[in-house]
Amino acid sequence: MSSSIAVNKTAHPFNKQQLESVLTQRFFYAPAFEIYGGVAGLYDYGPPGSALQANIIAEWRKHFIIEDSMLELDTTVMTPAPVFEASGHVARFADWMVKDAKTGEVLRADHLVKGVLEARLVGDREARGEKSVADTSVDDGEKKKKKKVKAIATRLPDETVHLYESILAQLDNYSGPELGLLCKEHKITNPDTGNEVSEPQAFNLMFGSSIGPTGQHPGYLRPETAQGHFLNFSRLLDFNYNRIPFASAQIGRSFRNEISPRAGLLRVREFTMAEIEHFVDPLDKSHEKFHLIKDVTICVLPRETQAEGKTDLTSIKVGEAVSTGIIANETLGYFVARIHQFLLKIGIDENRLRFRQHMSNEMAHYATDCWDAEIYSSVGWIECIGCADRAAYDLTVHMQKTGKPLVVRQSLKDPIISEKDVVEFNNKIMGKTFGKDLKFVTEAVKDIEADEPRLARFKNELAQGSTTLKVNGQEFKLTTDMVSVKHTVIKQTTREFTPNVIEPSFGLGRILYMLLEHSWWTREDDQQRGVLSLPMAVAPIKVLIVPLSAKEEFQPLVQELRAEGVLCRVDDSTASIGKRYARNDELGTPFGITVDFASIKNRTLTLRERDTTRQLIGTVEDVTSIVCALIKGDMTWSQAEGRLDVYDGVQAVE
Ligand SMILES: Nc1ncnc2c1ncn2[C@@H]1O[C@H](COP(=O)(O)OP(=O)(O)OP(=O)(O)O)[C@@H](O)[C@H]1O
């Protein structure tokens, strides 16, 4: 929204506690089952949180599904165990946990190492007089609050500082046993008790269940929506007229039994994901719309930089990142750019967004390349979207498990003509001669057929009249009346292949929380007055209606806004007008409309803009049409200022 008055949104330092108390007070979200004591990692969204999430989803559907004609799915959450056995989740979807050797308290191993090493680095900086001591934190299992790791001002040798920084830069790469070694080598103990911790153990994050009354069909709540796309691949392909590439998309709930869910929405046990599976020819990963995004500039942290223990960011155009091989292919680059555009559209601060490439040993073994969209917040850089080229892994494992062909068959425009030697059998004579051994002999000949040099020898020997095969320690003589080798011209008219998959995977709760942090600021003249500058498209409520009197004046306006699908809220509480505006600034409501006493007789309304607090006045009809245009994005605030009079609190339109 443009405005003619500059607003200083950085006047006060960010106060996380203040934001969190506003979010709870205004019921954006709150711990689920709170009156029963709550459960770590489970949250309920209230009216503004639900509307904000719904608006983010609506923008996501427009930006990805509609603009790129994706095929939307809604597949089940409850999933039979064989699906996750095939996908590898039963064996490998796990995090490493350690236990306090004396109290048995459970901690997530990588978070423990991170919290303790970061605290030591902070203590070192304090000892060097560089920065004041701040506490860092480490997750503490079931408790709802993060445990503070006290930073003690202690000077570390320079090489230790470099070592710690390098460990932290690559922490995602450490295996469980390696994390255990780090704890031992660097004397990392439970910060709460000072006790040593156990060897890391893998903990599977899926919630298990069973389907049906017999208990004989184990199942799991899905930890991602992806498998539903893969299992429906053949139907999707058919729906897409057997053409590839195409993408499927799904928005839905996922469940992970996180070891130590953090306070807030960043690590929860039930959350909404939005996932895309883009199926592409492994021999051609170009993207037909790549030219439209090649000039989008993104901030990247490539794997080579991380391998040097550094976190310096590089600004680069997506086209260049792909042409120089930093990003593996056009389709992956296309999605990285589209993710960047989407996040900016909904209000994420471009300066707090980066794309971090996975290290080779951080990616799944089958993946070709993987980039995380990470957003900076009060707790540092957090992965909010993963974007990976998963090669043909997913379809292949389900095909192997079920025997169903999850493949693309393409008729070739230009058939491929090849010539080769082919073995032909006289089945009657072979059967008579070899009886029960027929199968072994035939298989042995087929093996020879697949091996060019052996086939050439076989053919030569037959040309002499006969050849002898050794199978299972026995000798079998083959003569020219039993087999022959014919030179044959082969015309291949179809090509069969398993598509590769490029997968952007969004966690909506993390994005929503980041957006709240990036949108929050407090007024220059009053630190207590917070504002959420959410963009119009995602703001939960678009218009606040404040009847100071004469509620009926609003009826046509309210009717019109509601008919337009605009969420407006009438605040006819007894609070002062200032308070009513202030609490709607905290809800991120872009506009307020008021009838004030002076304007009643003239049938006028005042229109207030959230960020600048500027107010305009006009007739009921003008304000109604202008506010509708502002909400639809057909008019800017500056244009509205040209159409209505400035309201100074006393002026009324005659
Ligand atoms: N426990 C969680 N709570 C909230 N969002 C989550 C959680 N786990 C994953 N997500 C979201 O889902 C997205 C895709 O999931 P993915 O499996 O790639 O995450 P991940 O690599 O396991 O995340 P992390 O390493 O932070 O646990 C993440 O980028 C994140 O936004």
Q: What is the pLDDT of residues 374-432, one digit of tens each?
A: 999 999 999 999 999 999 999 999 999 999 999 999 999 889 898 989 999 999 999 99
Which tokens go with 533? 């500058």
Per-residue CA distances from 376 to 221, 331, 383 (Å)? 30, 26, 9
Work out whether the CA dihedral 480, 481, 483, 488 comes out positive or negative.
Answer: positive
Among 271, 353, 375, the mutation site with the greatest number of ligand 1 atoms within 8 A of its Cβ is 271
Which tokens go with 416? 């491929």
Which tokens go with 309? 């223990």
Which tokens go with 90? 């039963």
pLDDT at residue 3 in the model: 42
* Tens digit of each residue's pLDDT (9 = 90 or more) over 295-347: 999 999 999 999 888 889 999 999 999 999 999 999 999 999 999 999 999 99
With a threshold of 0.95, tell me whether the complex ipTM lies above it.
yes
pLDDT at residue 143 in the model: 42
At the second CATH level, the architecture of 95-204 is: 2-Layer Sandwich (3.30)
Closest residue to atom 27 of ligand 1, CA basis: 267
pLDDT at residue 1 in the model: 42
pLDDT at residue 170 in the model: 83
Cβ of 222 closer than 6 Å to ligand 1, yes or no, is no
In the reported structure, the alpha carbon of residue 382 is separated from the centroid of ligand 1 by a whole-number distance in angstroms of 9
At the second CATH level, the architecture of 413-493 is: 2-Layer Sandwich (3.30)
pLDDT at residue 13 in the model: 82
Closest residue to atom 26 of ligand 1, CA basis: 383
Given the CA of residue 385, which atom of ligand 1 is nearest to it? 29
Closest residue to atom 6 of ligand 1, CA basis: 507
* Tens digit of each residue's pLDDT (9 = 90 or more) over 434-477: 998 898 899 999 999 989 999 999 999 999 999 999 887 889 99
In the reported structure, the alpha carbon of residue 223 is separated from the centroid of ligand 1 by a whole-number distance in angstroms of 9
Residue 6: pLDDT band by 50, 70, 90 thresholds?
A: low
* Helices 330-346 and 508-519, packing angle to 10 deg: 50
Closest residue to atom 3 of ligand 1, CA basis: 267
Q: State CA 53 to chain mean position distance.
A: 15
Residue 77: pLDDT band by 50, 70, 90 thresholds?
A: very high
* Tens digit of each residue's pLDDT (9 = 90 or more) over 105-132: 899 999 999 999 999 999 998 888 875 5
pLDDT at residue 597 in the model: 67
- The mean per-residue pLDDT over the stretch 228-244 comes to 97
Question: In this predicted structure, which of 275-289, 446-460, 590-604, 617-631 has the lowest mean pLDDT?
Answer: 590-604
Predicted TM-score (pTM) of the model is: 0.84
Spatial separation of the C-alpha atoms in residues 479 and 382, rounded to whole Å: 71
Residue 141: pLDDT band by 50, 70, 90 thresholds?
A: very low
* Tens digit of each residue's pLDDT (9 = 90 or more) over 344-377: 999 999 999 999 999 988 888 889 999 999 999 9
Cβ of 139 closer than 6 Å to ligand 1, yes or no, is no
Strand 136-138 to 147-149 pairing: antiparallel
pLDDT at residue 314 in the model: 94
DSSP state of 75: -
Domain boundaries of the chain, sorted by first residue: 16-76+222-394+501-509, 95-204, 413-493, 541-646
Given the CA of residue 267, which atom of ligand 1 is nearest to it? 3
Closest residue to atom 16 of ligand 1, CA basis: 386
Among 339, 390, 510, the mutation site with the greatest number of ligand 1 atoms within 8 A of its Cβ is 510
Q: Which amino acid is at 411?
A: S
Characterize 297-325 residue by residue with b for buried, 16 or more Cβ atoms within 10 angstroms of its Cβ, and e for exposed: ebbbbbbebbeeeeeeeeebbbbebbeee
| 16-76+222-394+501-509 is classed CATH 3.20.20.30 | no
- The length of the chain, given as a count of residues: 654
The angle subtended at Cα 294 by Cα 322 and Cα 59, nearest 5°, is 115
Cβ of 349 closer than 6 Å to ligand 1, yes or no, is no
Cβ of 268 closer than 6 Å to ligand 1, yes or no, is yes
Closest residue to atom 7 of ligand 1, CA basis: 267
Class of domain 541-646 as given by CATH: alpha beta
